Structure 1
Amino acid sequence: MNRLIYFSLVFTIVTSVPVFGQALDFSDAVIMQNSSGKRAGHFARILQEELEKRVGKPFLIQTDTISENRSQIVLSLYADRKSLPNRYIKGLENLQPQSPESYQIILQKDSLSTSFLIIGQDERGLLYGIGQLLRKMDWAMGKLNLPESLVGSSSPVYPIRGHQLGYRPKTNAYDAFTVERFEQYIRELALFGTNSIEIVPPRTDDDSSSRHMTLPAIEMISEQSRIADELDLDLWMWYPNMGEDYQNPDSQVTELAEREEVFAALTRLDHLFVPGGDPGDLDPDTLFAWLEKTAELLLEYHPGAKIWVSPQVFRPTQVWFDRFFHHINKGYPWLGGVVFGPWVKIPLPELRKLVQEGIPIRRYPDITHSLSSQYPIADWDLALAMTLGRECINPRPVDQKTIHNALDQLAVGSISYSEGTNDDLNKFVWTDQDWDPDRKVTETVRDYARFFFGSEWTEPVTQGLLAEEANLKGSLLTNNQVPQTLLQWQEMEARASSEMLGNFRFQMGLIRAYFDAYIQQKLLHDTQQEQLARNILDLANQMGSRWVIDTAMQILENPWKDPGAARLKERCIELANSLYQSIGAQLTIVPHGAAPGRGNFIDNLDAVLNDSPWLMDNLRSIATMEPEEARLRELKHLIHRTNPGPGGFYDNFGTPGSWGKVVHGKALIEDPGSLYGPRVSFGVGLIGEEWVHEVQAVGFEGKATPKAWMTQINTLFDTPLQIRYEDLNPDLKYRLKVAYTGRFRSKMKLSVDEDILIHDFIETGQQPVYSFPLPQSAYRDGSLTFTWTCGEGERGSQVAEIWIIPETE
């Protein structure tokens, strides 16, 4: 399907001035406002304020006079172009109307002055034209140069371009925002082409308040609505169904009363997004009957508003989907469309086929999470996954463009799922790609760097952010990019002004550079420490079990002392404190008050990155055994845990060396969310009765676990997981040993070559390791393919380790 089905991108030259040319001095320019539009004055003041912040001098706004001999930035709507002074009109005779939200930038030169005219097709178009000027201008204190390459016109490809900014405690920064901070942050997004903001109601799947909140939630969402309306942005609200009963009349009255208070508090509300689940699981018949009642109330306060809904449910069944699409395709007048987001089981290409053609689909991309994510980081080292965690500062511009462009033609745009400022750069990338999916992502990053840091910082910051994305890929121990990234950022830090050092976006770049370098050095130490201990344990038969146990324990318990690394750690903590002061970012639980498991990655600086906890737990237990032969036997089992024996096979599917055996699905460009095929995931299992969703070194029965159990290959929902082995000996008997760990508690069954059952459905997460005989008929030709499948409504299949062990008589 061609992108032009929604909007066509337009880029035309509207004067004879070359697109690429010299930069023109506008340091003494005036702003001429020529529009009767409702928001024209506000937009002129935005331009004035943003120029003055950067250039450090005032820029006069005029409405009825022309400043001779001074450069001018002229702002006008297309409809008002004929009311411009004659000196401008003469260059606009052939100006053609554009699609909604478009802008045209025209350069006019005469003997008196030089002028840039920003002509918005509508008010939004005027704002986006202003944003384009601000993004491309060459500026510093006392200097403003505008490049001739600004000349042209542009229209957005997709009509929905936005981000969720939920004022609630679960976020890693938004709950600390003041009204002024929201006003500036939303303005900055709008200047890059955002046309939608999504807020959340006071009651969600979160606490009702936090110590960071500057206003009660009901008052802040009212302010967010006002801000959106002043910028002419569509206001969306994500509103999950948190009640316990939506069929009981008394419960309905209570729920409607809550919604009435919320709807009445908002100046503007254009769309309501109600997730089908996560949270608020309802059967579709109940869900759509409730949405009918919600729509009646919504339209009383916000006529014309629409309701969007997602088939988003943790444990879906075919019956659930059948009823959901029955309702979706009935054409309810209040229905705006369908939302495709995290935990939607149906891939977007299939969803587009199931939803009637006239019903739009909006994407809800998870740009904020790294662990437990809709779009995971490919080839991510376990050490970084353990420490950066779920909501680290995560600039991923190249990945985000790839993910966006994989599916963009099937939807009408996106409003991202965001939990705070950690995904700041990713927001601007998604907005820019929704405006023009053909735009090079490096161009977006350069605009971001130029706009927020200044022209002299454009290339250093751009390359620094791209380098931080490269830090995430591949083995951390051998990633030479990591120390180079730190050097780049340290050099910028050394010459940065105090104002620059106080810029939260610069602080975010710095802290990731320091953090990655520290974790790499710690991983190197911890790896060497573990290997030394294992070498000692391997001497048990010569030196005796008690001596090797005591010596190995001393090695594993020996604290790391490295002054250089200690300074890296100290700088991370300093920057975390700075980010808390500058933007309210909560990177620690104490003292910053982060929600556990969210943005508090600085708490993980001291995480153990080797198998010490598991080794020491076992060594303590072995030390109590008698006699010596028993200790020696158990030490051998410990050291050789992964050994399948001569002629056997062992694979840890969290490591790249084993991925070649995995039967892969579609390429990333076709399946960025891994709905058709496998992905690497992180997690262990159960701690008591609590399910562990993050990477931790403890799991089953509260005991330390091997690092190998912290990573898995997994598939989502009922997508089969297949792993293929070659070169087995048909004359040998083998036994399969398999470790089922991971964040899901799924019922899985295992077959070989799809028709030979190895085990029926068992609930994983109860114990880590299982053992089964392999029938020789399964590998007569020396190869076999394992296939794991889940029952209907399960979360997915997951396998951490496999041993194929030759059996001896």
Structure 2
Amino acid sequence: MIRLLLFWTLLLPCCVAAQTIDLSRATAVNLVSDKQVLRRSLDVLQEEVQKRTGIRLPVATRIPAQSFIALVLEKDKQRLPEGYRSAASIGPEGYSLVAGPKGVAIIGKDARGLLYGVGRCLRKMEMRAGKLTISSEATLTSTPKYPIRGHQLGYRPKTNAYDAFTVARFDQYIRDLALFGANSIEIVPPRTDDDATSRHMVLPPMRMIAEQSRICADYGLDVWMWYPNMGSDYSHPDSVRKELNERREVFSKVPKLDALFVPGGDPGDLEPDVLFAWLEKEAAVLREYHPKAKIWVSPQVFRPTQAWFDAFYKHVNKEYPWFGGVVFGPWIKTPVQEIRKLVKPSIPIRHYPDITHNYASQYPVPHWDLAWAMTLGREAINPRPNDEKAIHNAFDEYGAGSISYSEGTNDDVNKFVWSDQDWNPETPVIETLRDYARLFLGPDVAEPVAQGLLALEQNGRGAVLANDHIDRTLVQWQALERSAPAAVLSNARFQMGLIRAYFDAYTRRRLLYETELEQEARDRLSAIAPGRSLAAIAEARQLLEKAWKMPVQAALRSRCMALGDSLFRSIGAQLTIEKHGAAGGRGNFLDNIDIPLNDAPWLLSHLAQIEKVESEDERLRQLAEMLHRTDPGPGGFYDHFGDPASWKRVLGQLPWEQDPGSLVSPRVSFGVGLVGEEWVDEIKATGFKGQITPRAWMKQAKALYNLPLKIAYSDLDRTATYRMRISYTGRFRSRMKLVTDDGSVIHDFLQTGEQPIFEFDVPRTVTADGAVTFIWNCGEGERGSQVTEIWLMRK
């Protein structure tokens, strides 16, 4: 097992008062003679300081009389002046940073330790034009806890920005990540579950992948490659030969490759016997070009069976000589703590956390409001610093570190938080955010930007209608916008926070407006004078159409669009499909900026049909049916499991921090998922039999895989007989069975997704004691059970 490392030993007593050390005239002292050890650490120090201050640090090989910033290996620290020789023990990849009256010593255990020490120094410096200072409080010794720390940077069209990166932009982004302790970058091959190229690419994929590998080699970082099995047959000799020839071409062109990650599925599902037989052949080709590289594999499979897992772990525990370890990522049924028990202690586990997606993902935002799912969508700019720390710390002890799943720059903040947590899980989130803002935006805005990023995460907590925090967040960011210098205003990392502040406030203002318009329209339709149904329908239509004919806060919308254009120009961020060339559902949240946030589309479609009815009485009857769709009748019960108020009935809920991936407890999910509809990426509730569906069908309760979904009712009438109506909608089209806690079968396995509404009689014996728990299970190999609405109606 890759051993875990100790970290964080402070060098100076806490009682020593902090001093500000002026380094504006400092000399960079290089006490490292081996160029393979020094690599680019000195260049990084000089270049990053010069970018921010205009100061080009001169270089010497001896400590000068004036101020200095010295780079040295631990074994040579005696070359430093007394008082700068850290006495603390440093582990692999660790460093000591010693700040004293005359300067700073960066003492690295090894080549990476030097780079990370430079990164820590840069993060703590205050850099202004012509001025460079650091506090004596920057002194510390630190060694990373986990040996794998990195992120996937896939040069492919499906990402929301990476396919627009130049070589120079990849170099800077990889450098930025390294300054926060990343030691691994995962690249992807030219052929994946994606288009071969995009309009944004400045180099052919194979050439850029080779450049990514070279950049990592220059910095001394590990290179991983995510390589899914996209072939149609991995058992026929001709097919295998073709696949091996492709691998040979790819592996031969990347100058550095330390590990290959082959997912068991998502995409490329193979039976374990076939998978591992193929991996052995692949490993032989890999080692022709990269002799020390090993293959890691994940038990990712969309429709898992127990037989599949039994065979998979049997192969894993054989410990093939080419085998590196197990990867725990999205769409893995087994909790990582269980995987740790299933595999031998000598086999390492690498986390593959999804830090990109907001829902329909490994770690969705808990109890997210539907308004956010409809507008921000699955892959928006999504700073989630506190969530990422909670997710990391829930499972970090079961693995040897992480390489995150990322689809572009929208998760930028999350990358740096995750790297800091892999280095030291005790790091407070606010410290990372302050370092992030200080280094990338400047010391004068560090605190308000750090707090502003926390405020953006808080925008997503609870019901949007009731969350006036969203408006305060915009005020905070607008204050920054008025006072920040031009360099900050044009910085993409500032603009990514700013656009979310504007977008969130605009969405809330629209939701308030459109909710009130819908209520006014419903009131108009509920109080129809005799013979005036057609007039009332016309009035209701006018009210509902005001949402787009007389929109609110157009200035907020315009600012969002302008910022989207600016982000596209600066970093290739693709926030719309048509204008910016985004892949559908891959970060194009600006396309959803005007999506209706009330039930106007559903109401208007019904009103259009009711208008055609000739009978006044029939029109009134259909209007009443529409307006009272959720009415369970006298003494009945109605619950919508996208509504937090109904979640009190859902059993088995662990605190989110204990189960953020919902592998042992249910989650809220989004998506209509009926036949003829696009799935959750196009969450617009249209298409089922040519009709528009109610907004309620977009959000439901879900239990993944074969986890039972349990919903309990009490306070039922013991003397009554109930009929149960259920709406089954959602992303998955699963076969589900419904029973009760006493073993009664309400319905046997049925296929969902074909129709939304089902009705069943509930046996009187089931509710005779005034309570019942309904239990849903899906068939083996299904992706989960999901329930949207329940009506319990007295017969």
TM over 0.5: yes
Query: Using a 3 Å threshold, how does the CA distance of structure 1 residues 20 and 751 change in structure 2: closer, same or farther?
Result: farther
Query: Using a 3 Å threshold, how does the CA distance of structure 1 residues 66 and 350 change in structure 2: closer, same or farther?
Result: closer
Aligned to 2:241: 253
Q: Report the residue type matching 2:688 in the other structure.
A: F
- Report the more deviating stretch, 163-172 or 523-532: 523-532
Aligned to 2:754: 766
What pairs with 1:281-360 in structure 2 (closer than 5 Å)?
281-360=269-348
Aligned to 1:95: 87
CA offset at residue 97 of structure 1? Answer: 4.5
Q: Aligned pair 1:34/2:18, yes or no?
A: no
Partners of 1:695 and 1:354 lie apart in 2 by 38
CA offset at residue 12 of structure 1? Answer: 3.5
- Deviation string for 1:40-62 (max 9, x for gaps)? 15210110000111112221122
Q: Aligned pair 1:366/2:354, yes or no?
A: yes
Q: Is the contact made by 2:513 and 2:547 (CA closer than 8 Å) also made in structure 1?
A: no
Identify which of 221, 230, 255 aligns with 1:233.
221
Q: Is the contact made by 2:704 and 2:784 (CA closer than 8 Å) also made in structure 1?
A: yes
Q: Is the contact made by 1:368 and 1:417 (CA closer than 8 Å) also made in structure 2?
A: yes
CA offset at residue 695 of structure 1? Answer: 1.9
CA offset at residue 96 of structure 1? Answer: 5.4
Aligned to 2:46: 48
What SS does structure 1 have at the residue aligned with 2:668?
strand
Partners of 2:419 and 2:17 lie apart in 1 by 25
Q: Is the contact made by 2:677 and 2:688 (CA closer than 8 Å) also made in structure 1?
A: no
Aligned to 1:539: 527
Query: Using a 3 Å threshold, how does the CA distance of structure 1 residues 505 and 747 change in structure 2: closer, same or farther?
Result: same
Query: Using a 3 Å threshold, how does the CA distance of structure 1 residues 754 and 202 change in structure 2: closer, same or farther?
Result: farther
Partners of 2:209 and 2:368 lie apart in 1 by 37
CA offset at residue 155 of structure 1? Answer: 0.6
Q: Is the contact made by 1:349 and 1:410 (CA closer than 8 Å) also made in structure 2?
A: yes
Q: Report the residue type matching 1:33 in the other structure.
A: N
Identify which of 60, 65, 68 aligns with 1:62.
60
- Report the more deviating stretch, 97-106 or 338-347: 97-106
Q: Aligned pair 1:784/2:772, yes or no?
A: yes
**Matched residues, percent identical?**
57
Q: Report the residue type matching 1:34 in the other structure.
A: L
Identify which of 35, 47, 68 aligns with 1:72.
68
Aligned to 2:77: 81
Query: Using a 3 Å threshold, how does the CA distance of structure 1 residues 346 and 531 change in structure 2: closer, same or farther?
Result: same
Q: Is the contact made by 1:39 and 1:231 (CA closer than 8 Å) also made in structure 2?
A: no
Q: Report the residue type matching 2:69 in the other structure.
A: I
Query: Using a 3 Å threshold, how does the CA distance of structure 1 residues 133 and 596 change in structure 2: closer, same or farther?
Result: same
Aligned to 1:737: 725
Task: State TM-score, norm by structure 2.
Answer: 0.98
Query: Using a 3 Å threshold, how does the CA distance of structure 1 residues 426 and 359 change in structure 2: closer, same or farther?
Result: same
Aligned to 1:469: 457
Q: Is the contact made by 1:644 and 1:650 (CA closer than 8 Å) also made in structure 2?
A: yes
What SS does structure 1 have at the residue aligned with 2:712?
strand
- Deviation string for 1:94-134 (max 9, x for gaps)? 7355210010122455xxxx131111000001111111111
Q: Is the contact made by 1:39 and 1:230 (CA closer than 8 Å) also made in structure 2?
A: no
- Deviation string for 1:698-748 (max 9, x for gaps)? 142242111110000101101000111110001011110010000001000
Q: Is the contact made by 1:19 and 1:151 (CA closer than 8 Å) also made in structure 2?
A: no
Q: Report the residue type matching 2:32 in the other structure.
A: S
Partners of 1:384 and 1:93 lie apart in 2 by 52
Q: Report the residue type matching 1:398 in the other structure.
A: N
Partners of 1:543 and 1:7 lie apart in 2 by 80
What pairs with 1:493-512 in structure 2 (closer than 5 Å)?
493-512=481-500
Task: State TM-score, norm by structure 1.
Answer: 0.96
Q: Is the contact made by 1:397 and 1:441 (CA closer than 8 Å) also made in structure 2?
A: yes
Partners of 1:151 and 1:691 lie apart in 2 by 52
Identify which of 740, 765, 772 aligns with 1:752.
740
Q: Is the contact made by 1:692 and 1:699 (CA closer than 8 Å) also made in structure 2?
A: no
Q: Is the contact made by 2:707 and 2:777 (CA closer than 8 Å) also made in structure 1?
A: yes
What pairs with 1:153-164 in structure 2 (closer than 5 Å)?
153-164=141-152
Q: Is the contact made by 2:6 and 2:145 (CA closer than 8 Å) also made in structure 1?
A: yes
Aligned to 2:560: 572
Q: Is the contact made by 2:675 and 2:753 (CA closer than 8 Å) also made in structure 1?
A: no
CA offset at residue 435 of structure 1? Answer: 0.5
Partners of 1:305 and 1:80 lie apart in 2 by 32
CA offset at residue 618 of structure 1? Answer: 1.0
Aligned to 1:398: 386
Q: Report the residue type matching 1:187 in the other structure.
A: R
Q: Is the contact made by 1:30 and 1:72 (CA closer than 8 Å) also made in structure 2?
A: yes
CA offset at residue 561 of structure 1? Answer: 6.0
CA offset at residue 89 of structure 1? Answer: 5.3
Q: Report the residue type matching 1:627 in the other structure.
A: S
CA offset at residue 752 of structure 1? Answer: 1.0
Aligned to 2:514: 526
- Report the more deviating stretch, 521-530 or 201-210: 521-530
Identify which of 625, 643, 665 aligns with 2:613.
625
Identify which of 578, 595, 606 aligns with 2:583.
595
- Deviation string for 1:357-391 (max 9, x for gaps)? 11011110000011212111112111111000011
Query: Using a 3 Å threshold, how does the CA distance of structure 1 residues 172 and 732 change in structure 2: closer, same or farther?
Result: same
Partners of 2:456 and 2:789 lie apart in 1 by 30
- Deviation string for 1:134-161 (max 9, x for gaps)? 1111221121111111212001111111
Query: Using a 3 Å threshold, how does the CA distance of structure 1 residues 277 and 73 change in structure 2: closer, same or farther?
Result: same
Q: Is the contact made by 1:525 and 1:560 (CA closer than 8 Å) also made in structure 2?
A: no
Q: Is the contact made by 2:181 and 2:420 (CA closer than 8 Å) also made in structure 1?
A: yes
CA offset at residue 750 of structure 1? Answer: 0.4
Consecutive unaligned residues in structure 1, runs of 5 or more: none
Q: Is the contact made by 2:171 and 2:215 (CA closer than 8 Å) also made in structure 1?
A: yes
Q: Report the residue type matching 1:322 in the other structure.
A: D
Partners of 2:537 and 2:88 lie apart in 1 by 82
Q: Is the contact made by 1:523 and 1:610 (CA closer than 8 Å) also made in structure 2?
A: yes
Query: Using a 3 Å threshold, how does the CA distance of structure 1 residues 248 and 22 change in structure 2: closer, same or farther?
Result: same
Q: Is the contact made by 2:84 and 2:99 (CA closer than 8 Å) also made in structure 1?
A: no
Identify which of 430, 443, 468 aligns with 1:442.
430
Q: Report the residue type matching 2:18 in the other structure.
A: G
CA offset at residue 188 of structure 1? Answer: 0.5
Identify which of 551, 554, 561 aligns with 2:542.
554
- Deviation string for 1:619-647 (max 9, x for gaps)? 11112223222211111111110000111
Q: Report the residue type matching 1:48 in the other structure.
A: Q
Partners of 1:102 and 1:514 lie apart in 2 by 41
Identify which of 163, 166, 172 aligns with 1:184.
172
CA offset at residue 17 of structure 1? Answer: 9.2
Aligned to 2:211: 223
- Deviation string for 1:19-52 (max 9, x for gaps)? 6511111111110011123141521011000011
Partners of 2:457 and 2:13 lie apart in 1 by 41
Q: Is the contact made by 2:63 and 2:70 (CA closer than 8 Å) also made in structure 1?
A: no
Q: Aligned pair 1:262/2:250, yes or no?
A: yes
Query: Using a 3 Å threshold, how does the CA distance of structure 1 residues 212 and 754 change in structure 2: closer, same or farther?
Result: farther
Query: Using a 3 Å threshold, how does the CA distance of structure 1 residues 563 and 383 change in structure 2: closer, same or farther?
Result: closer
Partners of 1:343 and 1:702 lie apart in 2 by 32
Q: Is the contact made by 2:8 and 2:140 (CA closer than 8 Å) also made in structure 1?
A: no
Partners of 1:280 and 1:185 lie apart in 2 by 30
Aligned to 2:468: 480
Aligned to 2:97: 105
CA offset at residue 172 of structure 1? Answer: 0.2
Partners of 2:44 and 2:29 lie apart in 1 by 13
Partners of 1:4 and 1:589 lie apart in 2 by 44
What pairs with 1:787-798 in structure 2 (closer than 5 Å)?
787-798=775-786
CA offset at residue 546 of structure 1? Answer: 1.6
Q: Report the residue type matching 2:59 in the other structure.
A: I
